[in-house]
């Protein structure tokens, strides 16, 4: 018997940015200021760009992300040197890049203006003509602040990823069958690559376990494994959940928040139930997978992400492409490698070791004196088709452990004892949709129409059950 446990550890790295590795943009309508600034600062910065026209700022920011921006407060277009132009352009810069570090420069500075500049989002304030050493000290301090902000954002993303990863810890993979041995051999061959993998199979066959096994055996194993249930995310929240948002992007956006892709940066993102995405969401996802960058909702700045993408579905995506329900270019992007997981009825050798594993876990969890499976139960288990696969087996064993009055589990402890009709069906003439529909109807009947209880019984999310109710017109 093979038992594969997935262990994870997380690490973060301190971000530092040397001045001679940073880029600087100076915006001032005085050519003398630009010349003097560039002549002095190019010895300390990797790149120094300049412009006399603030209207060019959006163009510069679109082409490059600057570590620092020095911005004049007056551009000679008004008779009054109030600094309002500087404030207006400061607001525009922060709108384009909320993380921008801006140092304002003026010849008419005073304490009140400096305080207002800081309150409006400026990092610091310098007077011209400046002292070179003081200017360098101010810019160095601003650069350290930027490095601190970037590190904090990275830690927030890592913490989000850690929270998501902890919430999605999965049980062990256990198998004896040749069919699963072939799956495991494929996992071993592809784990160390960064190839995108599409996992195919019925609900409950363990696609999430295989995804985690791929991650755990890859060079990304020390980074986050972030699972996203695409079927549970509404279309209106799709971009915010996956790509993040900035403060004020919408009514409830009270803070900047990284999305799932940023949380998985350096590690692996697992997009489960990808076949449920709308065409609009598919187009947005394809853009991110091609560019390897994300843009938070409410921001114009793209952020690079380094993630391995694993996806899964129980649908036939090739049929969906033919029916124009799934983008062909997205399918090509996500299925560099395909792994088909067999249903439990095709790997019956695994039923007993899986049931033993679940029995021991639940006996310990619920403090029950259950310690074995009866021979008659094992016979029934091998006869039953397990339409819900491993997930159904797991829930069935859990119920049995709780309800059993003996040390060995018996057939009467299991739900399929009441569903004998299912075993008498002519399975070759009955498709999986018919079986799924009947199981849903039985669960709804058992729980008197309670969606939450029925979904738990079936091993589905509420959103997934609602989609199936609509599919079968129940």
Q: What's the pLDDT at 456?
A: 82
Higher-confidence residue: 160 or 314? 314
Burial of 187 (0-12, 13-18, 19+ CB in 10 A): buried
Is the pLDDT at 169 greater than 60? The verdict is no
* Nearest alpha-carbon partner for 463 in 452, 472, 447: 452
Q: What's the pLDDT at 425?
A: 38
Question: Of the ranges 139-143, 274-278, 329-333, which one carries the lowest mean pLDDT score?
Answer: 139-143
CA distances to 136, 255, 453 from 448, rounded to whole Å, are: 73, 42, 9
Torsion 132-138-140-143 (CA) sign = negative
408 φ/ψ angles, rounded to the nearest 5 degrees: -110, 135
Percent of the chain residues topping a pLDDT of 70: 85
CA dihedral 52, 57, 62, 63 (to 10 degrees): 20
* Nearest alpha-carbon partner for 254 in 264, 240, 265, 242: 240
Give domain 19-150's CATH superfamily: Response regulator (3.40.50.2300)
Q: What's the pLDDT at 363?
A: 94
What is the strand order of the sheet 337-340 is part of?
A: 225-229, 268-272, 308-313, 197-200, 337-340
**Close Cβ partners of 262 (under 8 Å, ≥ 6 residues apart):** 157, 160, 243, 244, 294, 303, 305
Strands (E), 255-377: 268-272, 293-295, 302-304, 308-313, 337-340, 372-373
Higher-confidence residue: 373 or 141? 373
Domain boundaries, the chain: 19-150, 168-340, 346-414, 425-474
Question: DSSP code of 310?
Answer: E
Is the pLDDT at 195 greater than 80? The verdict is yes
CB 90 within 8 A of CB 117: yes
Common-topology check for domains 168-340 and 346-414: no
Q: Which CATH class is domain 168-340?
A: alpha beta
Band (109; pLDDT cuts 50, 70, 90): low
CA 428, distance to chain mean position in Å, is: 40
CATH number of 346-414: 1.10.8.60
Q: What's the pLDDT at 172?
A: 66
Q: What's the pLDDT at 134?
A: 87
| Most confident stretch, 18-27, 149-158, 282-291 | 282-291
* Nearest alpha-carbon partner for 105 in 181, 5, 9, 26: 26
Per-residue pLDDT averaged across 98-120, rounded? Answer: 76
Give domain 425-474's CATH superfamily: Homeodomain-like (1.10.10.60)
Distance separating alpha carbons of residues 349 and 345, to the nearest angstrom: 9
Q: What's the pLDDT at 450?
A: 80
Is the pLDDT at 248 greater than 60? The verdict is yes
């Amino acid at each position: 018997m093979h038992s594969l446990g997935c262990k994870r550890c997380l690490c973060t790295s301190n971000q530092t940015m040397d001045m001679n590795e940073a880029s600087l943009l100076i915006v001032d309508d005085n050519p003398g200021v630009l010349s003097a600034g560039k002549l002095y600062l190019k010895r300390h910065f990797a790149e120094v760009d300049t412009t006399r026209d603030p209207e060019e700022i959006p163009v510069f920011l679109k082409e490059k992300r600057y570590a620092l921006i020095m911005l004049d407060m007056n551009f000679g277009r008004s008779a009054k040197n109030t600094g309002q132009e500087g404030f207006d352009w400061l607001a525009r810069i922060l709108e384009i890049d909320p993380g921008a570090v801006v140092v304002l420069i003026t010849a008419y500075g005073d304490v009140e203006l400096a305080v207002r500049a800081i309150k409006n989002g400026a990092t610091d304030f310098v007077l011209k003509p400046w002292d070179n050493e003081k200017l360098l000290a101010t810019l160095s301090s601003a650069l350290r602040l930027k490095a601190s902000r970037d590190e904090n954002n990275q830690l927030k993303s890592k913490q989000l990823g850690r929270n998501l990863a902890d919430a999605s810890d999965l049980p062990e993979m256990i198998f004896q069958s040749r069919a699963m041995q072939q799956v495991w051999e494929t996992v071993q061959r592809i784990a160390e690559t960064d190839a995108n993998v599409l996992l195919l199979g019925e609900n409950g066959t363990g696609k999430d376990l295989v995804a985690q096994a791929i991650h755990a055996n890859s060079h990304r194993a020390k980074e986050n494994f972030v699972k996203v249930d695409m079927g549970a995310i509404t279309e209106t929240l799709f971009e915010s959940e996956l790509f993040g948002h900035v403060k004020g992007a919408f009514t409830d956006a009270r803070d900047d928040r990284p999305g799932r892709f940023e949380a998985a940066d350096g590690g692996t993102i697992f997009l489960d139930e990808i076949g449920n995405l709308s065409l609009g969401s598919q187009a947005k996802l394809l853009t991110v997978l091609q560019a390897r960058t994300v843009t938070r909702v409410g921001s114009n700045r793209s952020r690079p992400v380094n993630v391995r993408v694993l996806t899964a579905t129980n649908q036939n995506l090739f049929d969906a492409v033919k029916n124009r329900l799934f983008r062909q270019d997205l399918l090509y992007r996500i299925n560099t490698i395909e792994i088909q997981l067999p249903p439990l009825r095709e790997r019956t050798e695994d039923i007993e070791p899986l049931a033993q594993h679940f029995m021991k876990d639940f006996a310990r969890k619920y403090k029950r004196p259950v310690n074995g499976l009866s021979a008659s139960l094992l016979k029934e288990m091998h006869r039953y088709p397990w339409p819900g696969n491993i997930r159904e087996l797991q829930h069935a064993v859990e119920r049995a452990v709780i309800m059993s009055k003996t040390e060995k589990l018996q057939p009467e402890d299991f739900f399929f004892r009441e569903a004998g009709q299912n075993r008498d069906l002519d399975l070759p003439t009955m498709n999986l949709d018919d079986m799924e529909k009947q199981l849903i109807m039985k669960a709804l009947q058992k729980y008197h129409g309670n969606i939450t209880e029925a979904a738990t019984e079936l091993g589905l999310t509420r959103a997934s059950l609602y989609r199936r109710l609509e599919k079968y017109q129940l």
